[in-house]
Homo-oligomer: A and B are copies of this chain.
Amino acid sequence: MKLELTREYISELRAIIEARDDKTALAMMEDLHPADIAEIYSELSTEESKYLYMVLDPEVASDVLVELEEDDRERFLRALPAEEIASQFINNMDSDDAADVISDLDDAVKQEVLKHIKDVEQAGDIVDLLSYDEDSAGGLMAKELIKVNENWSLTTCLREMRKQAEEVDDLFYVYVVNDDNILTGIVSLKAMLIATGSTIVKEIYEKDVHFVRTDAPGEEVAQIMEKYDLVVLPVVDSIGRLLGRITIDDIVDVIRDEAEKDYQMASGISSDVETTDSPIRLSRARLPWLIIGLIGGILVAALISQFEGDIKLNPEMAFFIPLIAAMAGNVGIQSSAIIVQGLASNSLGLESTFKKLVKEFVVALMNGLILSILLLIYNLAMNQGLALTYTVSISLFVVIIFAAIFGTLIPLLLNNMKLDPALATGPFITTTNDIMGLFIYFLMGRVLYDVFLV
């Protein structure tokens, strides 16, 4: 049942598509989950995928479309007329998936597709959803849900739920509303199972229910669902009327994207790219960071050129330039990564900025001392000159402390200024710390060479 996608499988399938052998093609994909079929699609050309779509059952084909990577989907939909998109795919989708698919289309095609949706209620739902920001709770929610009035008996509920259930794929909770459609609570299916038919919803429902407003950002939704271990979260409008629900599988993507985004920023990749993207796209995502790095490098070169005389006199000063620069970068990245992660997972606690700085200072003091002494022992053992030995160790110590403080302070400052703290990681902080670190190193060298060579 689990698909092991192999190159053999794909070439076999390609041959079958080439031969236009509908039956065998269908047989090869029967019993596969739409997510598996989507994985197969990403290996095929647009023409090949199009053929497979025509072979597949429309309902399965719609599920596959939802599971596709965004760029594969766009490429594929561009090859289809609006009417076909509406009748073949959108009609079989939940409102949130339909809205996601449609929102990626060009404006003109979007209108065309909406016009061709037969179910007016569904079209209305989709238009509603399209009006929300894609990354807000409104954009993440589905409108399909099961709700009951708080005054109904369980018998009435069951009758109404049977009607509503046809539209809903997964049924986890039943939402309770009052006569004004204001969300008042939830009934778990477990509670319904245990109670008898004449029980009134009011008697068994839970009042304390987590919910979000349509304008809550996706990250906040993720934090709430993660913290309270929720599987579904209802979404309400500004006066509390129940509009939809967000399921955890959509939020898992938000959580992964968020975690990956910080990692990508730290690695100097500016937008969401994957190995399967085109070289131009890959290049564009990285070049800005490299240019920042290049400018940084030029600034560092300008700084060092101020110490040309020192280097001419004591060329061995140059040996440890990379060490000082690398350690400043490493310490800065460590300090900033831990703050960025803490901010992302909201686990920084109530410690004040000052207390955090003091703690980082203590950590830097310990690490700096250990590393400087190790380096001192090495250089003494290698019989490097005393001036160089002390210059390198003392500046390493100072640089580590500065880098740790910068690494902590900058993401916190950015966060206070409502900028993405992850900006502080990656090439940006490395460059700043390089400049600061080497400036300290050469200054220290000037002083200590004077002392030791008197």
Chain A residues with CB under 8 Å of chain B are 1-2, 5-7, 10, 31, 33, 35, 42-43, 158, 161-162, 165-166, 168-172, 188-190, 193-194, 208, 210, 224-231, 247-249, 252, 255-256, 259-260, 262-264, 266-269, 273-276, 279-280, 282-283, 286-287, 289-291, 293-294, 296-298, 300-302, 304-305, 308, 311-312, 315-327, 329-331, 333-334, 336-339, 341-342, 345, 347-351, 356, 359, 362-363, 366-367, 370-371, 374-375, 378, 425, 427, 430-431, 434, 438
Known: A274-B341, A274-B342, A315-B318. 17 other contacts (CB 8 A): A10-B350, A33-B210, A33-B227, A162-B194, A170-B172, A226-B252, A260-B345, A263-B266, A266-B266, A267-B425, A276-B348, A280-B366, A287-B371, A290-B330, A304-B321, A317-B318, A329-B430
**A7: contacting residue among B168, B330, B350, CB under 8 A:** B350
A363 to chain B: which residues have CB within 8 Å? 279, 282-283, 286
Residues of B close to A248: CB separation below 8 A:
231, 248-249, 252
Instruction: Report the separation of the CA atoms of residues A325 and B321 in the bound assembly, to the nearest whole angstrom.
Output: 10
CA distance A337 to B261 in the complex (A): 11
- Residue A322 contacts which of B322, B337, B338 (CB distance < 8 angstroms)? B322
Does the CB pair A316–B325 fall under 8 Å? no
Q: Give, as a whole number of angstroms, the nearest-CB distance from A167 to chain B.
A: 10
Decide if A283 touches B326 in the complex (CB within 8 Å): no
Known A165-B194, A342-B275; contact A300-B322, beta-carbon cutoff 8 A: yes
Complex Cα gap A267–B336 (Å) = 9
Give the residues in chain B near A348, CB-CB below 8 Å.
275-276
Give CA–CA (A363, B248) in the complex, Å: 36
**A342 proximity list for chain B (CB < 8 A):** 274-275
Closest B residue, CB atoms, query A339: B275
Pick from A293, A316, A322 the residue with the most CB of B within 10 Å.
Answer: A322
Q: Please list 18 pairs of residues, one from A and one from B, whose beta carbons are closer than 8 Å in the complex, sorted by A's number.
A: A1-B210, A165-B193, A231-B247, A259-B263, A263-B266, A264-B337, A267-B334, A275-B356, A276-B348, A280-B366, A286-B331, A286-B363, A289-B334, A290-B331, A294-B371, A301-B319, A315-B315, A318-B321
A216 to B252, CA, bound (A): 20
Q: How far does the alpha carbon of A362 sit from the alpha carbon of B325 in the complex, in Å?
A: 29
Q: Write out the residue numbers on chain B whose beta carbons fall within 8 Å of the beta carbon of A329.
A: 326, 329, 430
Q: Are B294 and A327 in contact (CB under 8 A)?
A: yes
B322 touches A301 (CB 8 A): yes
In the complex, what distance in Å separates the CA atom of A370 from the CA atom of B378?
40
Copies of the polypeptide in the assembly = 2
Q: What's the minimum C-beta distance from A445 to chain B, rounded to whole angstroms?
A: 12
CB-based contact B305/A370 at 8 Å: no
**Shortest CB–CB separation between residue A193 and chain B, in angstroms?**
5
Residues of B within 8 A of A375 (CB): 294, 298
Given A256-B345, A267-B334, A370:B319 Cβ within 8 A: no
Q: Closest B-chain residue to A327, C-beta based? A: B293
In the complex, A189→B171 CA distance in Å?
7
Please name the residue on chain B nearest to A348 by beta carbon: B275
Q: Chain B residues with Cβ under 8 A from A345's Cβ? A: 256, 260
**Across the interface, which residues of B come within 8 angstroms of A276, CB to CB?**
347-349, 351
Once the chains are docked, how many angstroms separate the CA of A333 from the CA of B438? Answer: 22
- Could you tell me the distance in whole angstroms from the C-beta of A43 to the nearest C-beta in chain B? 6
A409, chain B: closest CB distance, angstroms: 13
Are A305 and B294 CB-contacts (below 8 A) given A161-B193, A438-B322? no
Q: Given A283-B363, A337-B263, A371-B291, is A322 in contact with B319 using a C-beta cutoff of 8 Å?
A: no
User: How far, in angstroms, from A273 to B360 measured CA to CA in the complex?
Assistant: 13
Q: Nearest CB to that of A249 among chain B residues?
A: B229
Smallest distance from the beta carbon of A78 to chain B beta carbons, Å? 21
User: Are A323's CB and B347's CB within 8 A?
Assistant: no
In the bound complex, how far is the Cα of B346 from the Cα of A275, in angstroms? Answer: 11
Q: Which residues of B contact A326 (CB under 8 A)?
A: 293, 296-297, 300, 325, 329, 427, 430-431, 434
